[in-house]
A and B are shown apart, each in its own frame.
Chain A
Amino acid sequence: MRRRPIEAAELDLIPVLSLIVHIVPMLLLNVRFIELASVDVGGPVLPTLDAPSTRVLQEQDQKVVSVRVEAEGFLLSGLDGDPRIPCMGVCTADTYDYAGLRARLTTAHAARPGEQRLVIVPGAETEMSVLIRVMDAARESGTGAPMFGEPLLAAIPQGEGQ
Chain B
Amino acid sequence: MMDMFTILLIYLLYFFDPSNDPLKAVELPGSESKAGEIRGVVVTVGLEQIWLGEEALPMERLGEALALARERNPELPPEQQERLVLKCDRRVAYRRVEEILTAASQAGYTEYRFVVLNEGTQPLNR
Contacts and interface: CB of A to CB of B under 8 A. Distances in A.
Interface residues on A, range: 35 or more
B9 A36 contact: no
Nearest to B124: A98
B5 A27 contact: no
Secondary structure of the B contact surface, majority rule = mixed
Q: B17, B89, B91, B101: which has the most chain A beta carbons within 10 Å?
A: B101
B116 A132 contact: yes
B91 A46 contact: no
A43 B94 contact: no
Given A36-B117, A39-B116, A127-B90, A30 B16 contact: yes
A133 interface: yes
Contacts of A1: none
Question: Contact size class for B?
Answer: 35 or more
B54 interface: no
A109 interface: no
A127 B15 contact: no
Given A20-B9, A93-B90, A133-B31, 14 more contacts: A28-B12, A31-B12, A32-B17, A35-B118, A37-B33, A38-B33, A39-B33, A44-B98, A49-B105, A98-B125, A125-B93, A129-B90, A132-B90, A140-B32
